[in-house]
Amino acid sequence: MWLQHRWYDKRLHPLLYLLTPLSLLFWLLTNVRRSLYWLRVLPSYRAGIPVIVVGNISVGGTGKTPMTLALVKFLREEGFNPGIVSRGYGANTKYPHDVQPNESAKVVGDEPLMLRKKSDCPVVISPKRGAAIKELRRLHSKVDIIVSDDGLQHYAMKRDIELILIDAERGVGNGWLLPCGPLREGPWRLKGAEWVVSLYAQHPFARYVCKVESKDWYRVKDDKQVEKPTQQCYAVAGIGNPHRFFHSLRQQQLDLADCIEFADHHEFSADDFAKLGDKPVLMTEKDAAKCRDFAASNWYYQPIETRLPDDFTASLAKRLRKFKD
């Protein structure tokens, strides 16, 4: 995780200069690949119904999952029947796979399971988004618009709208492409883009700002709502930006014994908590999905919810009306 922390230094760390040839190679390969799709040398798949991609130009957490949930809710309010496709990171199943709400995060991945449970709309996972879309349309014929959770760089999937998320605090980090920096594509990708959205606060590249609200507390073991913890707790996170979660807990004036950081999509086991004793443990909703089978009765999670601003929904509603005409 040392490397990920250095990505967000203001200047390139001296040791990362050793990786600059790899970043240049990454730039070359991604540009060639993108050009081949643009020139139609490589085939791309069109769904036949509108596709909205929720993605980012950097690795790590920018809030794609809560944004996807907020978007699906808004689409329903506009009269659409949305479906979701996702890569299914961390899944262990045959692709494409139609996610069911009673499945395990070990089988379908933590994010797809959370999307399926909270959105109550179809979710199909596959590294090949075109295959996921075909399966989604085959199994769920009433779906008339698709939201792709991530997939901005998946140019084999044609899209009608790109919602590009950017972290208001971390921005583009040191501005370098992988592996010297956190970027999958350069900042140029944001310039002129119509739907650049930052969460929590304004970012210079963003046209819209979405607020994110922390909700009530729930017990990991059985999803029962509980009161805000008052004892001293451990905070645990295995997400793209754990420091945001820890900062949120401190803002709520929770008494934290320690904040323990794991890699994004970490596959939790009971051994990870063996040294924490009997103190309560606080975690994100995404991590809770992977800990439910062995959770103690004093482990809790707090969902978050993205609020779409009025100017964003008005502009998006106007664009969506064109799909119905």
Residue 36 has pLDDT above 90, yes or no: yes
Collapse the DSSP code of 176 into the 3-class scheme (helix H, G, I; strand E, B; otherwise coil) and give the result: coil
Residue 63 is assigned to a ligand binding site: yes
pTM over 0.75: yes
pLDDT at residue 61, as a whole number = 81
- Eight-class DSSP state of 70: H
Cα–Cα distances in angstroms (integers) from residue 4 to residues 16, 174, 259, in the given order: 11, 11, 17
pLDDT digits (tens, 9 = 90+) for 232-266: 999 999 999 999 999 999 999 999 999 999 999 99
Residue 64 is assigned to a ligand binding site: yes
Residue 58 is assigned to a ligand binding site: yes
Alpha carbons 284 and 254: distance in angstroms, whole number: 15
Residue 19 has pLDDT above 80, yes or no: yes
Residue 62 is assigned to a ligand binding site: yes
pLDDT at residue 191, as a whole number = 86
Cα–Cα distances in angstroms (integers) from residue 182 to residues 6, 133, 265, in the given order: 9, 28, 17
Express as a percent the part of the chain with pLDDT over 90. Answer: 94
pLDDT at residue 325, as a whole number = 73
pLDDT digits (tens, 9 = 90+) for 189-225: 998 799 999 998 999 999 999 999 999 999 999 999 9
Q: Where are the domains of the chain?
A: 19-30+39-211+307-324, 216-302
pLDDT at residue 1, as a whole number = 80
- 19-30+39-211+307-324 CATH: 3.40.50
pLDDT at residue 212, as a whole number = 94
